[in-house]
Structure 1
Amino acid sequence: MLRIRGTVGELPVDLTLELDESDWARLGAQFGVQVQTAQPQAAAAPVTKPVNQDDAVWQVARDLLRKAGQLSGPELLDQLEGLTGSAAAGKRLLVRLRHSSDVKVASGGDTPLYSWIE
């Protein structure tokens, strides 16, 4: 399930989308992410924490920067806002990326440059 909240002009928007595995796979393909489908598990398999929506969005955000290699702050923020559907959520992901050990942030004149570290 994917929930989008925000505004369109002055109109409030609260939209909930239910996606099945094939929908998630197509969405992931748009960002170059391979979505793994659930595999049947044996009864004796250890219980693992399910991946929540925030973890999935975080992985897509990381993959977006990894694929690009380097993006300016405003470009990355625009893409993250598009991914999350909200400016606030996009900014939270940008801050989380800034503090990630896989990301280097350098001064690029007027804007920061976010680079993926291999």
Structure 2
Amino acid sequence: MIRVRGRIGDLPVELEIELGSEDWQNLRDAAAQTAPSTAPKPVVDAWDGHWEGARALLRQAGELSGPQLLDQLAALAGSPQAGKRLLVRLRHCAQVKVEPVGGAPLYRWVG
């Protein structure tokens, strides 16, 4: 038996569902038939287009200070928050070397 209790607005709700062994078996069979037989498709990263643009931007410039790069990435991605995400992603990219220079990091393309 499955019992569901709750409220809909101010009204209390209680629902009981009784299933026999045959009902449970039918549910198991139905679940097995609807289960995916192949591996799920990979999710496409919504930032891939901006990511390629960010890499190309730094590659063409050779090196940029953190604030300059952040301004350009924010313009590319459409918002300061999106620009910061791209900046963090570049910081961890194998083709980018980050060096502290003065008060701001210097992002250099080494790939």
Q: Which has the higher contact order (CA 8 A, sep 6+)?
A: 1
With normalisation by structure 2, the TM-score equals 0.59
Listed as ranges, the matches of 1:66-105 within 5 Å are: 66-105=59-98
Q: Rg: which structure is higher? A: 2
Q: C-alpha displacement at 1:54, in angstroms?
A: 1.3
Q: Any stretches of 5+ residues in structure 1 without a counterpart? A: 1-47
Q: Report percent identity of matched pairs.
A: 58
Give the whole-Å Cα distance in 2 for the aligned partners of 1:49 and 1:79.
30
Q: Which has the higher helix share?
A: 2
Aligned residues: 71
SS of 1:79 mapped into structure 2: helix
Code of the residue aligned with 1:106 in structure 2: it is E
Q: Any stretches of 5+ residues in structure 2 without a counterpart? A: 1-40
Q: C-alpha displacement at 1:92, in angstroms?
A: 0.4
Give the whole-Å Cα distance in 2 for the aligned partners of 1:117 and 1:83.
21
With normalisation by structure 1, the TM-score equals 0.55
What is the aligned partner in structure 2 of residue 113 from structure 1? Answer: 106
4+ long deviations beyond 2 Å: 48-53
